[in-house]
Amino acid sequence: MARLARLVIPHQQHHVMQRGNAGTVIFHDAEDHTSFLQWLKEAARLFGVAIHAYVLMPDHLHLLLTPSDETGLGKMMQWLGRHYVPYFNRKYQRSGSLWQGRYRATVIEATKYFIPCSIYIENSPQRAGLVADLLDFAWSSYRHHIGLQIDPLISDHSSYWALGNTPFQREAAYRECLEQGLSSAQIAEIVDASSKAWVLGSASFKAAMSKLTERRIEPVSRGRPRKAVQVPDIKQ
């Protein structure tokens, strides 16, 4: 059975995930991280994609972004691969694919899931046990969102701005949200949607998104539909 086309809806927020092939480490040192982020910044500018949050883990990466059209996201990821993979292969004297198949992109309902997805992404190093304190991990947008540095890669989303009227209020509110963390149910919901690339949102949001694309946005029900039971007429 042919695989579904990737779901990309312009001006909607997308959670993107890309893994290294068979668990390959894709970022070894500071040069790898900074090179990738520089190319990501350039690609986002070239193809009209706003980056709202990110994390570069040793063997995978997460992005939270908004494409301005249907093709920009795909072109951005392709452009990144054409620059980063040859750089990586030359440096580490390897060949072949660096990525584990296609990247996955999940459309999310921003009003409900933007902040949880951003927190999920930026908390990845702590959740994976790489650091005890997120301040010790340099390769994410966490420092930007809590006001410790301005990250030129990041375009702040309206959901982040809604956290407060001033930068200080927004940064404090975001830090509080991250310190509170996500429930196991929220994490499971985000992981399930991102692994299957279905829309993450309410029924009304999914209905609205289905009108913007011909692609299915959620799995079909399993099994055959039940046959209607024929009730014989009973004469009085």
Whole-number Å distance between alpha carbons of 168 and 64: 22
Q: Give the residue ranges of the chain where pLDDT is below 50.
A: 1-2, 225, 228-236
What integer pLDDT is reported at residue 229 of this predicted model? Answer: 44
User: What three-state secondary structure class fits 71?
Assistant: coil
Amino acid at 217: I
Average pLDDT over the chain, rounded to an integer: 90
Whole-number Å distance between alpha carbons of 17 and 156: 20
Q: What count of other Cβ atoms lies within 10 Å of the Cβ of residue 218?
A: 15
With CA atoms as reference, report the closest residue to 103 among 185, 170, 20: 20
- Torsion angle defined by CA atoms of residues 111, 212, 4 and 71, in that order, rounded to the nearest 10 degrees: -90
Whole-structure pTM value: 0.89
Q: Which CATH class is domain 13-207?
A: alpha beta
Do the beta carbons of residue 121 and residue 54 sit within 8 Å? yes
CA angle 216, 14, 42 (to 5 degrees): 130
Q: What count of other Cβ atoms lies within 10 Å of the Cβ of residue 89?
A: 14
Burial 3-30 (b: 16+ CB within 10 A, else e): eeebbbbeebbbbbbbbbeeebebbeee
What integer pLDDT is reported at residue 122 of this predicted model? Answer: 98
What integer pLDDT is reported at residue 235 of this predicted model? Answer: 42
Q: What count of other Cβ atoms lies within 10 Å of the Cβ of residue 80?
A: 20
Burial 32-57 (b: 16+ CB within 10 A, else e): beebbbebbeebbeebbbbbbbbbbb
